[in-house]
Amino acid sequence: MIAYILRRLINIVPVVLIGLTITFFFIHLAPGDPTLRLMDPSVSPEVRQQVIERFGLDQALHIQYYNWLRNVLLDFDFGNSFKYGHPASAVVLDALPATLLLTGTAILLGLLLGTVSGIVSAVYQGRLPDRLINLILLFFYSMPVFWLGMMALGLFSIKLDLLPASQLSSIYYTDLSPLAKIMDVAKHLILPVTTLGLASAAGFGRFIRASIIKELNSDYIMAARARGLSERKIVLSYAARNGLIPLISLIGLTIPVMFGGAVVIEVIFSLPGMGRTMVEAVLGRDYPVILSASSWAFISVVIGNLLADIGYSLADPRVRINT
Amino acid sequence: MNNRNNTSGQPLIDVRELTIDILGRGSTTRLIENLSFTVYPGDIVGIVGESGAGKSLLCKALIGLKHNNIRLGGTINLQKQDGWVNNIFPMTNRDLEKLRGKTIGIQFQEPASSMNPVLQCGRQIRDALPAIERKDKVIGPARVVELLQLAGLEEVDRVARAYPHELSGGMLQRVTLACALAGRPRVLIIDEPTAALDPITTYGLMNTLDRLNRELNLALIIVSHDLNLIKTWTRQLIVMYSGQILEQGATTEVLVQPYHPYTKALLECEQALEHNEELKPIPGQIPSLLEKLAGCRFGDRCSAYQVRCGQEEPDLTNEPGGRSWRCFYPVSNTE
Amino acid sequence: MKDWYYLLKKLWRDKSARIGMLIIAVVAVSALAAPLLTPYEPNTQDLSIAAQAPSFSHPLGTDLYGRDLLTRLIYGARVSLGIGLCATLLAVLIGTTVGLISGYAGGWVDNILMRIVDVLLGFPRLFVILLAVGLSTPSVKIIILILGALSWMEIARIVRGEVIVIREMLYVKSAVALGISKRKILLEYILPNTTDVITVYATLLIGTTIIVEASLSFLGLGVQPPDASWGTIINQGRIDPINAWWISTFAGLAIVITVIGINLLGDSLRSLLNPRADQN
Ligand SMILES: Nc1ncnc2c1ncn2[C@@H]1O[C@H](COP(=O)(O)OP(=O)(O)OP(=O)(O)O)[C@@H](O)[C@H]1O
Ligand SMILES: [Mg+2]
């Protein structure tokens, strides 16, 4: 098992490198001149030339790639952001916590709501509670996250003025006591996290319902009933337990989706996270930031999948990991 | 209906006019019609019938289990430890839970799919124990070991720790047997116990069941296609065809001198197989349950078919010895 | 052809499938017959009637450039639905092929294919789609290609997972023992048992794709003006969310209703194709 984990961890390196290499060439071959977006068009050609030389943009592509790769591998140095001037890794690292906080809490909320509603729905299959839950889940499932976010923002922040509309904390944040700081961030997170959490709860809930119903209809459940097991035990420790196993791999697959959701949510609620940084970097052709952000995104997603695979093999004895 | 000669006290299971319907979209199919029989303590009852006759559905129905698209009718009365249950069908699931496994144990047709794939076998046997035993930290595991031994397993610890997919078909068969015995039932229903086993394993398993019958006075209902097995191990026999009982009685009597042409045809097939002769298959197909024809169900496949057979349906004829058959022209009377 | 007819007939008997199909039909027909349904031009601006609230002549109001919102939405359906369908088709084709091969072949083939899937799934999808679309010159064709080429991995994984389980089943094992060719086993024994998962996932994917495309357009990276998908229209509504609330609200509702229709159909398909899963 440990050998397996180590092997998978080592495997992350080529995966991320291949991903980054593709991204590197994709970026550099894509139309659009970074210097044009970077600077005022009125800047003289000489100054522009200086900038190009400083970033090495005039060299042949393979040399640029070689230099870039060497820096990344040796120093984890992605170069300086075109826009901010300081190291791209720092720009991205600054944005990472907000995104992790947002997606982490949203996944937890989604899992909680999704599991409860999925189990209830499956147990009451076809009856009123199931129909009601189904309808609600279907509604949220079919909704673009960003639209839900916009509507929530318009209603609760702008119209009713109940919750803050943007940023992760208030301007007077630094003056607050530790407890008040937490409350402040929590208040800022309510809308974005609920939006993202509801969207993922809908997916989880529908998945769990179907999965548990499938289990409830299988022969071993009938056999367990024949042995006189209580319905409670059959639902909770047989059907729900087995039906939740596939959820583990779904969580692994959901992580990148959540990053996607985080992009639009961060843009709508002006949160200082990776998603917004990425959108700005793409629009501004800020190569170092794009590559640095991508690498973090790749790493966290691959680790998420690894954890999902390990979890799956722990939960289901039929799936054995061959080391 | 009491058709036994050596009746010993109260019956354990008393099935009266059981019907089983399959509800389709817009149409219902009657799979089993007015089926009645009784099982007494210590009985070993064999049920034979062609594939699709509804034997497995019948087994499940005996403890009030069914899929949602199936409707059960008639009555089933049971004797439990402390009294008599009049008709299980109106009972709530919660009440049925108290009967299942405790009054009647059942082993389903495919042992592999009747175990939860992600729990260890020992744990699943323990789950089937009565609450007091299950929750006890000492008695629980001890009972699991005891049950596995009772089911004739040897490497008890390994089996208890194994997941279902890690065991062979024969071992799983015994594990499910242990599960079925966990509630100390007085009747055990075994659906096709030996369909996938080799002769030696089959013999071993049947031996175990026979021992349980003798030592615990456990009544057995054995469903099988294998007439040989039925002949060797059961004492009572029910021959089913197309949702009806065509013949029943003491196994030896029925198989030595069958009254119903269907039973006779079955026996001839069996003997042909045994002596490697050319098979004499029963001509025709088991009638589709959708099209209900007038007259005897076996009708057009029967060697003794007469005009009357196609017009009215024969009733069960009962003989004082406990035998009954459903035929106008029973074999022994015409020969 | 006959199978299709029976499937449709069965679907029609199912209430939620019927609702789903009706929704889809209404949206699809109005998309196809757009010019016949509305007296307005989708792109002709008239600032004198800009940002008017819903009224009799403009049931859903007008947008910031005085274009009839309902007309814009009907024409937007062409773009949104078209992209959703085409991209999904592409993804299903790639994903099923890869999943079947990977799950059945096992060994190094499986290893390489799944490594590729790992790498591609390692790209958070919207993130990469954003990158790809943002760095190219967005056009409908390119968006379809990018969405399709980046959406097949889950299908491949799901199909592979199914295949691995099915491969171990008795009937497949005995087919192998009987010496039936690999091709036949894959196509006749295994593939039919995965179509349920594929159909259900693909149906849901159409909805997801419509939403992803809307997200891109919402970020200003998707369909470019004067053409508009529903996402583009929602984005326009962001400029004045309070006074011109109807723009984003109705455009969003168009997406929600359409995707609900697709999902209703998908769910019913699942219970029809796989009756055991929905027996109660
Ligand atoms: N839940 C169900 N829904 C619809 N039809 C069913 C259902 N369960 C069983 N059947 C049908 O009822 C008939 C009897 O099934 P059953 O399993 O009882 O047969 P059997 O006598 O046990 O056959 P075998 O000897 O092959 O085990 C079969 O034709 C089967 O297709
Ligand atoms: Mg059977």
Distance CA B242, CA B299 (A): 11
Residue-level pLDDT at A322? 54
Residue-level pLDDT at B219? 93
Q: Cβ contacts (< 8 Å) between A227 and chain B: which residues?
A: 100-101, 105, 127-128, 179-180, 182-183
Q: Cβ contacts (< 8 Å) between C13 and chain B: which residues?
A: 25
User: B169 versus B141: which is more confidently predicted?
Assistant: B141
A19, A154, A260: residue with CB nearest C119: A19
Residue-level pLDDT at C278? 40
User: C176 versus C226: which is more confidently predicted?
Assistant: C176
Residue-level pLDDT at A281? 87
Residue-level pLDDT at C138? 75
Q: What is the mean pLDDT of residues B144-159?
A: 91
Q: Cβ contacts (< 8 Å) between A138 and chain C: which residues?
A: 260, 263-264
B121 pLDDT higher than 90: yes
* Mean of all residue pLDDT scores within chain C: 83
Residue-level pLDDT at A248? 84
Q: Tell me the C-alpha to C-alpha distance, in Å, between residue A200 and each of A204, A257, C75, C214, C219.
A: 6, 9, 30, 18, 21
Q: Tell me the C-alpha to C-alpha distance, in Å, between residue B161 and each of A1, B148, B242, C19.
A: 20, 12, 43, 50
CATH class of A93-283: mainly alpha
Domain ranges of chain C: 2-279
Q: What is the mean pLDDT of residues B42-61?
A: 89
Residue-level pLDDT at B24? 79
For tokens 């009215």, the residue is B312
| Shortest-distance ligand to the CA of residue B226 | 1
Mean pLDDT lowest for which of B129-143, B208-222, C266-280? C266-280
Q: Tell me the C-alpha to C-alpha distance, in Å, between residue C102 and each of C98, C148, C231.
A: 6, 20, 36
Q: How confident is the model at residue B1 (pLDDT cuts 50, 70, 90)?
A: very low
Q: What is the mean pLDDT of residues A19-27?
A: 80
C1 pLDDT higher than 70: no
Q: What is the mean pLDDT of residues A118-130?
A: 92
Residue-level pLDDT at A36? 58
Percent of chain B whose pLDDT exceeds 90? 32
C280 pLDDT higher than 50: no
CB pairs under 8 A between A and C: 152
Residue-level pLDDT at A118? 94
C277 pLDDT higher than 60: no
Each residue of B152-201: pLDDT tens digit? 888 899 999 999 999 988 899 899 999 999 999 999 999 987 777 788 88
Q: State whether the beta carbon of B55 lies less than 6 angstroms from ligand 1.
A: yes
Q: How confident is the model at residue B290 (pLDDT cuts 50, 70, 90)?
A: low
Residue type, B301: R
Residue-level pLDDT at B2? 38
Residue-level pLDDT at C122? 66
Q: What is the mean pLDDT of residues A142-146?
A: 90
Distance CA B122, CA C126 (A): 47
Residue-level pLDDT at A12? 75
Each residue of A36-87: pLDDT tens digit? 555 555 666 776 677 677 667 777 788 888 888 888 888 778 888 877 878 8
C9 pLDDT higher than 90: no
Residue-level pLDDT at A49? 73
- CB proximity list for A260: less than 8 A, separation 6 or greater: C124, C125, C126, C127, C212, C215
Question: Taking CB atoms and an 8 Å limit, are B127 and A220 in contact across chains?
Answer: no
Q: Which of residues 46-75 of B touch C (CB under 8 A)?
A: 67-69
The separation between the first and the last C-alpha atoms of chain B, rounded to the nearest angstrom, is 29
pTM: 0.79
Task: State which ligand 1 atom lies nearest to the alpha carbon of B289.
Answer: 29
Residue-level pLDDT at B4? 43
A191 pLDDT higher than 70: yes
Q: Tell me the C-alpha to C-alpha distance, in Å, between residue C157 and each of A317, C88, C147.
A: 20, 16, 17
Residue type, B37: F
Each residue of A168-186: pLDDT tens digit? 777 777 777 888 888 888 8
Question: Taking CB atoms and an 8 Å limit, are C154 and A159 in contact across chains?
Answer: no
The winner for highest mean pLDDT among A53-67, B241-255, C218-232 is: B241-255
State the helix-helix crossing angle for A2-29 and C107-122, rounded to 10 degrees: 60
Q: State whether the beta carbon of B20 lies less than 6 angstroms from ligand 1.
A: no
* Mean of all residue pLDDT scores within chain B: 85
Residue-level pLDDT at B128? 93
Distance CA B254, CA B241 (A): 15
The DSSP annotation for A55-78 comes to: TTTTS-HHHHHHHHHHHHHHH---
ipTM: 0.85
Each residue of C15-66: pLDDT tens digit? 889 999 999 999 999 988 878 877 777 777 777 777 677 777 777 777 777 7
CB C263 within 8 Å of CB C270 = no
Domain topology for C2-279: MetI-like fold (1.10.3720)
Q: Tell me the C-alpha to C-alpha distance, in Å, between residue B185 and each of A58, A219, A255, B108, B191.
A: 86, 21, 50, 15, 16
Cβ atoms within 10 Å of C275's Cβ, excluding its own? 11
Tell whether omega for the bond before C192 is within 30 degrees of 0, i.e. cis.
Answer: no
Each residue of B305-331: pLDDT tens digit? 888 888 788 888 888 778 888 888 888
Residue-level pLDDT at A33? 62
Q: Which residue of C has its CA nearest to A210?
A: C277
Nearest Cα neighbor of C147 from A86, B278, C139 is C139
C235 pLDDT higher than 60: yes
Ligand 1 pocket: which of B28, B55, B230 to mutate (most atoms within 8 A of CB): B55
Mean pLDDT lowest for which of A47-61, B120-134, B299-313, C259-273? A47-61
Each residue of A145-159: pLDDT tens digit? 999 999 988 888 877
Domain ranges of chain A: 22-75, 93-283
